Structure 1
Amino acid sequence: MNALTVLPALVVVLLAAAGPALAPHRTDEPIGMPFADPGPGAPLGTDRLGHDVLSGLLHGGWGLLLLAAVIAVFTTLLGAVLGAIAALRPALGRFIEGSADFAILVPAILGILLVLTSWPAAGIAGLLVVALLFGVPYCARVFAAAAAGVAATGYVEVARASGETLQHLVFAEVLPNLREVFAAQLGLRFVAAVYLVSTASFLQLPATLGATNWAVMVRDNGSGIVLNPWAVLAPGLAIAVIAVSVNLAAGAFGRVRS
């Protein structure tokens, strides 16, 4: 595995986790005029309320990263299991294919809007459930296609003829041979989850991660992008970097494990 591929993701995750401890100011502490230029004590300037942009940046990544990771892991795990079962049981495979078509045609953000605006108390749990409902069918379809070749191999046929249970076939025979697919899907699901969670925060849905996260920083400071571009560019770039770096690291890990 190329260390340069994994290093950016590791640095970003560590910074997101340790960010609140490293921040020079509180997120609600005014340190200057709104949208002030970068200068001493504020390397990225200030936001619309005169708060330090760097401090907001350091505080705003961990919640987004953690929720996106939870969505990505559960979506990939459930998709992998259902896809392996679908490859071994073609009748279920047809159902998953139909569910995936529905998930593709109906944008996940539309489902999140409908659920979280009509049921605000659902909060982050509601966001997680809807993300799984829309993400798992598509992920399972990818795994079903990848697992079809494995399910047709001789050693799986022998295991079937020996009377092995479906659980054994899925977890002992099929999934161990899909490590690279798993890693690739985990990275892609993480990217999708990052943008989904960011969009939910940007739209001020009830599942927001709080007043300090990168998506909220982009939304709230858009009016001053000409005065202090870093108030918008810094959190926007942070979202892109964390998504791309983790995706690349997951792909590299899958290749080395295969």
Structure 2
Amino acid sequence: MTLARAWPVVPAAVLVVVAVIAPVVVDISSVDGDIPYAPPSSRDWLGTDHLGRSVLPQLMVGGWRIMVIAAVIATVVTLFAAIAGSVAAVEPRFGNLIDRTTDAAMLVPPILAIMLVLLSWPAAGTAGLIIVAVLVGTPYSARVFAAAASGVAASGFVTVAVASGERLLYVVFREVLPNLRDTTITQLGLRFVEAMYLVSTAAFLQLPAALGESNWALMVRENSAGVLLNPWAVVAPALALALVAVSLSLAVGAIASRKTTP
């Protein structure tokens, strides 16, 4: 990716670096309370929250859990979908199964599925959130991979490999998947953005999988009552979530258009 196309990912990269480093160097438990919803000052650059705590330290440490869980979901979904889609392209009968599974999965909104599981099975926690997100996200992504892999599967080298009696897994991992790098990168970015939305919504709703006492989504929920007193207590975490999502979406768009742009 050229420098001109790399700039969209800069905001997300900065936030990721801060989110990874901040928990090591910032201890929010040692932050003294002050007046709730105090405006920005030389001491508290973004003011204080509903408990009188400085917003900036919480903002710095509030993103890493959301990002880590979203990255895990995106990676697992992309991995499973890439394998399933490649198998579907080589084995049409499996492709029909993916189509039917995708049609069924699209009937249930992902956040509704997460709420049903986590509210009825609180002990599932973060693991339950990841499992449900993977189950509802994989079928649709697998259909995308199947469409991308169909052209590869119809190529001569794959046909020769199948005709020579190579096993299905060999054809998938050695012949098909290596030719889906661009699709894999694009889907990984899109799945991460979707996972950010799901994880943030779960945290905002304070489901059993709430991601700690301080995260961006929970900051928006808890400080919404004082948005007129100190808007930064709500705007800053909401802006951080939006920047990560929009930045990665633009980067994915740049990758997707790489082949069509001279």
Write out per-residue CA displacement over residues 8-51 of structure 1, whole angstroms, 9 at most, x where no aligned residue: 3322211110123454x625734421111000110000011101
The residue that corresponds to 1:114 in the other structure is 116
Paired residues of 1:179 and 1:254 also in contact (CA < 8 A): no
The residue that corresponds to 1:170 in the other structure is 172
Where 2:106 maps in the other structure, the secondary structure is helix
Alpha-carbon distance between aligned partners in 2 of 1:103 and 1:188, rounded to the nearest angstrom? 18
> Which residue type is aligned with residue 207 of structure 2?
L
Alpha-carbon distance between aligned partners in 2 of 1:188 and 1:102, rounded to the nearest angstrom? 21
* Misfit runs of 4+, over 3 Å: 27-31, 246-257
Alpha-carbon distance between aligned partners in 1 of 2:117 and 2:133, rounded to the nearest angstrom? 11
Q: 1:4 aligns with which of 7, 16, 24?
A: 7
Deviation at 1:251, TM superposition (A): 5.7
Alpha-carbon distance between aligned partners in 2 of 1:28 and 1:196, rounded to the nearest angstrom? 30
Where 1:199 maps in the other structure, the secondary structure is helix
Write out per-residue CA displacement over residues 194-232 of structure 1, whole angstroms, 9 at most, x where no aligned residue: 010000001111011111000000000111111111000
The residue that corresponds to 1:150 in the other structure is 152
Q: Is it true that 1:66 corresponds to 2:56 in the alignment?
A: no
Deviation at 1:70, TM superposition (A): 0.3
Which range moved further: 99-108 or 184-193? 99-108
Alpha-carbon distance between aligned partners in 1 of 2:136 and 2:29, rounded to the nearest angstrom? 34
The residue that corresponds to 2:199 in the other structure is 197
The residue that corresponds to 2:211 in the other structure is 209
Where 2:36 maps in the other structure, the secondary structure is coil
The residue that corresponds to 1:179 in the other structure is 181
Where 2:7 maps in the other structure, the secondary structure is helix
Where 1:18 maps in the other structure, the secondary structure is helix
Paired residues of 1:183 and 1:251 also in contact (CA < 8 A): no
Task: Give 5+ residue unaligned stretches, structure 2.
Answer: none
- Residue identity (%): 55
> Which residue type is aligned with residue 56 of structure 1?
Q
The residue that corresponds to 1:240 in the other structure is 242
The residue that corresponds to 1:39 in the other structure is 41
- The TM-score, its normalising length taken from structure 2, stands at 0.92
Number of equivalent positions: 257
Alpha-carbon distance between aligned partners in 1 of 2:110 and 2:11, rounded to the nearest angstrom? 29
Which range moved further: 115-124 or 28-37? 28-37
Report the CA distance shift for 1:111/1:28 in structure 2 as closer, same or farther (over 3 A): farther
Alpha-carbon distance between aligned partners in 2 of 1:4 and 1:230, rounded to the nearest angstrom? 26
Alpha-carbon distance between aligned partners in 2 of 1:122 and 1:226, rounded to the nearest angstrom? 37
Write out per-residue CA displacement over residues 151-205 of structure 1, whole angstroms, 9 at most, x where no aligned residue: 1111110111111111111111111111111111111100000010000001111
Paired residues of 1:72 and 1:190 also in contact (CA < 8 A): yes
The residue that corresponds to 1:13 in the other structure is 16
Task: Give 5+ residue unaligned stretches, structure 1.
Answer: none
Report the CA distance shift for 1:20/1:47 in structure 2 as closer, same or farther (over 3 A): same
Alpha-carbon distance between aligned partners in 2 of 1:44 and 1:79, rounded to the nearest angstrom? 42
Superposition RMSD on alpha carbons, in Å? Answer: 1.9
> Which residue type is aligned with residue 17 of structure 1?
V
> Which residue type is aligned with residue 120 of structure 1?
P
Paired residues of 1:180 and 1:255 also in contact (CA < 8 A): no
Alpha-carbon distance between aligned partners in 2 of 1:217 and 1:7, rounded to the nearest angstrom? 24
Report the CA distance shift for 1:218/1:27 in structure 2 as closer, same or farther (over 3 A): farther
Deviation at 1:7, TM superposition (A): 3.0
